[in-house]
């Protein structure tokens, strides 16, 4: 079997979604790497393929060109296509499709593939899926950086209570905590008095800040569902430290909205949505 035949078998196994067949094209100790993975081998190669197929069940590689580039070396130009209908890097499916051009440089010996090195634009897939890509430091002096998510009910009610939870955990537990958090937020949307919730992740710390119409509304989280599941896992093994709390506002100042004509700020509630100049004000945002 020629080097070109082995390389084609490798790509065919990807299109057949056959992880075992992919691994069998490699020589003992053969490795794979691309801009998103470390150097992996054996079962790790199979697991990487399965993760992609889980996120993109219709994943396929269209071969644009494939040719030998010297003894035992094959260069394959391809376009990876698929629709994101499964979880991707811990995020819910977007339903968007991707078309990612790339190149594999495949080094082949008499016993099979020794290395596959993939090259592609790492920004292309997140962009096509409508995902944000942030480049920032983890920490600079006293400043720590992270990411955040907000879920809003659409209610314009002034908050009467805030629930605050902070949890510290090892990196290996972060994806499980995020999944439990998403499930809890989905249930919150159907709870009485829920206004909105924001999640912050900074280093090894996660913070949840939820807004409610009344303090007693926060207690609904203890009545079962995803939050109760998360608490059971917390007491069993999840996280290193955590605390929960309920805060009642001392006061909340008026919601000010700027007039689009005279450019003056107005107390939206006091002015009933109309500027002192007589111009209707833009719709006020939610408090939270």
What is 204-218 written as a DSSP string?
Answer: TEEEEEEEESSGGGG
Residue 135 has pLDDT above 80, yes or no: no
Kindly state whether residues 13 and 116 are assigned to the same domain.
yes
135 is a domain residue: no
pLDDT at 6: 96
If asked whether residues 53 and 98 sit together in one domain, one would say yes
Residues 112 and 14 in one domain: yes
Is 9 among the domain residues? yes
Q: Are residues 39 and 64 in the same domain?
A: yes
Asked whether residue 104 is assigned to any structural domain, the reply reads yes
Residue with tokens 């054996």: 42
Residue 147 has pLDDT above 90, yes or no: no
Query: Do both 24 and 104 map to the same domain?
Result: yes
For residue 166, give the CATH number of its domain.
3.30.70.100
Q: 273 in a domain, yes or no?
A: yes
Nearest to 191 by CA among 215, 209, 218: 218
Does residue 199 share a domain with residue 169? yes
- Banded pLDDT at 91 (limits 50, 70, 90): confident
230 phi, psi to nearest 5 deg: -65, -40
How many domains are contained in the chain?
A: 3
Higher pLDDT residue, 92 or 93?
93
Q: Are residues 17 and 101 in the same domain?
A: yes
Q: 123 and 10 in one domain?
A: yes
Whole-number CA gyration radius for the chain: 26
Q: In what order do the strands lie in the sheet with 205-212?
A: 146-152, 194-202, 205-212, 161-168, 241-247
Read off the pLDDT of residues 243-268 as tens digits, 9 standing for 90 and up: 999 999 999 999 999 999 999 999 99
- In angstroms, rounded to a whole number, what is the distance separating the alpha carbons of residues 54 and 238? 25
Contacts of residue 241, defined as CB under 8 A and 6 or more positions apart, other chains included, come to: 167, 168
Q: What CATH number did the domain enclosing 42 receive?
A: 3.10.450.50
Sorted by sequence, the CB contacts under 8 Å of residue 166 that are 6+ apart come out as 205, 206, 207, 208, 242, 243
Would residue 134 count as lying in a domain? no
pLDDT at 90: 72
Same structural domain for residues 278 and 179? no
**DSSP code at position 128:** H
Residues 265 and 192 in one domain: no
Domain boundary among 129, 154, 175: 129
Mean pLDDT for the stretch of residues 98-121: 96
Q: How many Å apart are CA 286 and CA 288, to the nearest integer? A: 5
113 and 54 in a common domain: yes
Mark which of 129, 161, 185 sits at the end of a domain: 129
Last residue of a domain, one of 110, 129, 148: 129
What distance in Å separates the CA atoms of residue 235 and residue 242, rounded to the nearest whole number?
10
- Please name the helix (run of DSSP H) or strand (run of DSSP E) that holds residue 120, with its range, or none: strand 112-120
Label residue 5 by pLDDT band (50, 70, 90). Answer: very high
Sequence-separated (6 or more) residues with CB below 8 Å from residue 143: none
> Quick one: 165 and 232 in the same domain?
yes
Q: What's the mean per-residue pLDDT of the chain? A: 93
Q: Which domain holds residue 146?
A: 140-247
Given a cut of 80, is residue 134 above it in pLDDT?
A: no
Burial of 214 (0-12, 13-18, 19+ CB in 10 A): middle
Distance CA 87, CA 53 (A): 10
The pLDDT assigned to 258 comes to 97
């Amino acid at each position: 079997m020629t080097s070109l035949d082995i390389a084609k078998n490798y790509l065919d196994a990807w299109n057949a979604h056959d992880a075992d067949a992919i691994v069998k094209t490699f020589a003992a100790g053969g490795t794979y790497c691309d801009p998103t993975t470390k150097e992996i081998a054996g079962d790790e190669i199979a697991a990487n393929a399965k993760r992609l197929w889980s996120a993109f069940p219709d994943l396929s590689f269209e071969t644009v060109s494939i040719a030998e580039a010297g003894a035992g070396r094959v260069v394959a130009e391809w376009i990876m296509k698929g629709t994101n209908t499964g979880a991707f890097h811990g995020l819910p499916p977007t339903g968007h499709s991707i078309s990612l051009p790339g190149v594999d440089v495949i080094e082949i010996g008499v016993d099979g593939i020794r290395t596959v090195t993939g090259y592609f634009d790492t920004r292309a897939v997140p962009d096509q899926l409508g995902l944000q890509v942030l480049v920032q430091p983890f920490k600079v002096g006293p400043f720590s950086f992270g990411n955040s998510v907000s879920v809003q009910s659409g209610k314009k009610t002034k908050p009467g209570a805030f629930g605050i939870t902070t949890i510290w955990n090892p990196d290996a537990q972060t994806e499980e905590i995020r999944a439990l958090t998403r499930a809890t937020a989905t249930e919150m949307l159907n709870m009485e008095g829920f206004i909105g919730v924001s999640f912050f992740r900074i280093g090894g710390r996660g913070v949840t800040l939820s807004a409610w119409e009344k303090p007693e509304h926060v207690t609904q989280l203890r009545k079962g569902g995803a939050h109760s599941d998360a608490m059971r896992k917390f007491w069993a093994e999840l996280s290193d430290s955590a605390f929960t709390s309920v805060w009642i506002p001392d006061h909340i100042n008026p919601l000010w909205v700027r007039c689009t004509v005279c450019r003056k700020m107005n107390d939206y509630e006091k002015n009933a949505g109309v500027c002192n100049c007589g111009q209707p004000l833009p719709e006020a945002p939610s408090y939270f």
